[in-house]
Structure 1
Amino acid sequence: METILLLTIAFSGILIGYFLRNISTRNKIKTIGMPKQEKPAEAQVKKEEPADGNLLERKILLEETITILRELNENLSSYASLYELTDDIAKTTARIFNLNTCSLLLLNPLTDTLEMYSYIGQENAAAKNLSIKLGEEISGVTARYNEIKIINNLEANKRVFNLKLEGLYKNSLASVPLSYKGRVIGVINASDKKTGKSFTDNDSEILKLISSESAIAIQNFRLFLELQENYLKTVITLAKAVDAKDPYTNMHSQNVAKYSVRLAKYLGLSAESIETIHRAGLLHDIGKIAVRDEVLQKPGKLTNEEYEHIKIHPVKGEEIIKSLP
């Protein structure tokens, strides 16, 4: 009988790859020193022994999932906001499992609540502004204990989890923690397969794979946003320093940036192009830092030598910008 071996490859606590291979039951990996753990009664995870056809389908699904998640991580700079990224994660999860509903909530560490970032499914007003306290409902329990919860009979478990959000999830729910370096940052909720089938152990493994890669993507994107913010602060500081050298052009760079952005929006340019134009406006005179004050602030006509000197500022500006992150 054939089965699939899926190993994660990590370095310094960060997932960097996977090893996927078919193995026979004669060569099963033996777990040493690991006590057998019983699954909680409420989980009700359906076990399955896949036939050869199902095994091949699962292998293909795993490979497709890995490819999709790798591409997602490699293209973080293309996202304009964290909401766009979480939307793609939720849509990808819904597509892989053919779900009616999928949601992604991120933890607000200041309030210890999970806040809804993305919801895929039928229109539901409650979903948009949803927040769940740690330890409450299924999502809160998942986040608090950093454990996946799979429930294939929600009706029978309403009292166990004090379910209130009856409109979000109907029959089955797999709630998976988004964990980065052992710290929970959110939860993915996969609910109600369109086929009506239950969630299985195999589904659980793929969901863990999705959550692991998604958590890395979310944290990397947050770092990317932080770098962008620090970069912009650096740009503004440099622009102010340039304008301060020349009282005649005080606030000149900020005004160029402001009016350029207005024109870009009027022309219907993309958000990425508008941001580039904004930064270019702020930095267009940055090379004047290298121009001598007596030349830059001279009230009268420049000599030929002074004119040649001031013409170096675009070149110096390029050199400065190249060194910025």
Structure 2
Amino acid sequence: MAKKDYKSELKEIELGIYRQIGGEAVKKARTSVILEHLLDYALKALDSYSGTIYLYDSATKVLTFKIVKGPIAKKLKGMKMHSGHGIAGLVARTKKPYISNDLVNDKNWLGLKFGETHRNVITVPLLMKKKVIGVLQVLDTKSKKPFTKDDCKMLVSIANHFAMIMESASVVTELSSRVKEFSTLQDVGSLLISTLDQKVVRLRAMQAITRLMLAETGSLLMVDEKAGELFFEVALGDAGDTIKEIRLKIGEGIAGWVAKYGQHALVPDVLKDKRFQGKVDKKSKFRTRNMICVPVIIKGKVIGVLQAINRRHGGTFTKKDLKLFQLFSNQVAIALDNARLYEEIRETFYATSGALAEAIEKRDPYTGGHTKRVLEYSLAIARQMQVTPEFRELLKLSAVLHDIGKIGIEDRILRKQAPLNDEEAACMRQHPLYGVEILKHVPQLKDVIPGMLYHHEKPDGKGYPEGLKDADIPLTAKIISVADT
């Protein structure tokens, strides 16, 4: 394949992948989608029918056969091998491409052990931020010709290009995850201030929290000051009613320790933690493996304890989970202190939105402070227009998130100081659409989308992305457009 042809085709494939990874059907398998495209394209470019993509775990130094094409693909897929062995292991360790046209006599080739009869191979690293995340390997050409140095250069170029796509996709995925986490926080907040009976509200909130934490079960314990004990206000799971009969002394067990000292506990293995007593497990016949436990504090005073127990799928909770769980704890505390409820939820909402905007600006240092300026100018315009408080709040959030779609733009374009060429400008004009892909899954942010999507429209219809004219452009978008000028 000629150099011009493969570079042009790479761009077409990249656009196709971006469209696909934004779809609901593949939202949980974006990496696999990209890797499938990568191997298919690499095989096509080098006129081959057999190849492998290995994923590399730097912690364990293990390579996993993630995507495999060829005669014994089913046999190899999912297998693991240490990076100290084989050609793929050598490439993972050295970060350098490897080409061999005499595999039978190549001491690094392990394929004979698996019954492979290949003669030629090119193997290149998949690098993200200079770290090895995997290895791409192509075996034999259909024409039986040996691989050349030009073939190797082409495969390196293809691998690097797809690594950039994976990096952009991972950022979008992470951002979408944060937006969804925030959406759940908002849902929990709404439950906690609803007019339903507080016991029902707390139960529903705990159910939502447990789902998002990927925990098998969870509980909310409250402090009984007179008795010096903790009692179970909410206990999920089949043994919930039995657990509610149990009381713990302040200082007893992990939950009691958290209540006594007002500190969190992130416990990856309860059997290795001296604080764990197993009293609840014995009563409920439930086996606790790991947990997060955080205090519920109001005005410096511990009034309860939140627990998330047993990360699903055999995993353990992380520091990131702990931070999220602490946010949940704060919301429960707010619900029990109604005087501060509304302000706390509102501040959490805008702080999270600001954090999303800040994530974009960190990628684009040349526009530092841009979001803050657009927000200030937008609110100044709103004051002159004497808009309603509700509209002002909508405008504020729309201004903060107006450039969220830039998270999907490549760094080489986003950080370019010189004028963009036509192709780069066309890519940049996609950022409002990327923003829609991020926000559309969050019902609470649906009213923000028009201001974000249409803030580059012009009264004469020469703006983008839809070429709307004056009367059709939402007021929030018009204000942000002026502030963004």
Distance 1:227 1:168, change over 3 A: farther
Matched, 1:113 2:62: yes
Q: Which residue of 1 aligns with 2:2?
A: 58
Given that residues 102 and 120 in structure 2 are in contact (C-alpha distance below 8 angstroms), is that contact kept between their aligned partners in structure 1?
yes
Are 2:217 and 1:217 equivalent residues in the alignment?
A: no
RMSD: 3.4
Shift of 1:146: 0.5
1:31-71 deviations in Å (ceiling 9; x for gaps): xxxxxxxxxxxxxxxxxxxxxxxxxx623444344434543
Question: 2-side partners of 1:166 and 1:65: how far apart?
Answer: 34
Task: For residues 147-201 of structure 1, give each alpha carbon's deviation from its aligned partner in whole angstroms, at most 9, with x where no partner exists.
Answer: 10111111111x3445455445612111111112322111100111111111111
The residue number in structure 2 matching 1:231 is: 179
Q: Which of these residues, 143, 153, 163, is aligned with residue 102 of structure 2? A: 153
SS of residue paired to 1:107? strand
Give TM-score scaled by structure 1 length: 0.57
Q: 1:137 to 1:238 in 2, by over 3 A?
A: same
Q: CA offsets per residue over residues 240-282 of structure 1, 9 Å max, x none?
A: 0001101428349x89xx9xxxxxxxxxxxxxxxxxxxxxxxx
1:98 counterpart residue number: 47
1:202 correspondence with 2:147:
no
Judging changes above 3 Å, is the alpha-carbon distance between structure 1 residues 110 and 59 closer, same or farther for their aligned structure 2 residues?
A: closer
Q: 244, 254, 258: which is aligned to 2:192?
A: 244
Amino acid paired to 2:141: K
Alignment of 1:56-205 (within 5 A): 58-68=2-12, 70-71=14-15, 74-75=18-19, 76-78=21-23, 79-80=26-27, 81=29, 82-157=31-106, 159-168=107-116, 170-205=118-153
Task: Find the aligned partners of 2:141 and 2:40 in 1 and give their Cα distance.
Answer: 14
Per-residue CA distance 1:188-239 (angstroms, 9 max, x = gap) = 0011111111111110111110111111222222222222221211111100
Residue 98 of structure 1 and its aligned partner are, at CA, apart by 1.8
Q: Which one-letter code corresponds to 2:191 in the other structure?
A: D
Structure 2 gap ranges (5+)? 212-337, 340-389, 399-443, 453-485
Could you tell me whether the CA contact under 8 Å between 2:50 and 2:70 is conserved in 1?
yes
- Larger mean CA deviation between 63-72 and 123-132 belongs to 63-72
Letter in 1 for 2:7: E
Contact 1:65 1:96 in 2 (8 A): no
With over 3 angstroms needed to count, the CA separation of the structure-2 counterparts of 1:169 and 1:207, relative to structure 1, is farther
Q: Which runs of 5+ in 1 are unaligned?
A: 1-56, 259-292, 295-311
Q: Which has the higher relative contact order, 1 or 2, with Cα contacts under 8 A spaced 6 or more apart?
A: 1
Say which SS state the counterpart of residue 125 (structure 1) adopts: helix
**8 Å contact kept, 1:69–1:213:** no
Report the Cα distance in structure 2 between the residues aligned to 1:121 and 1:198, rounded to whole angstroms: 18
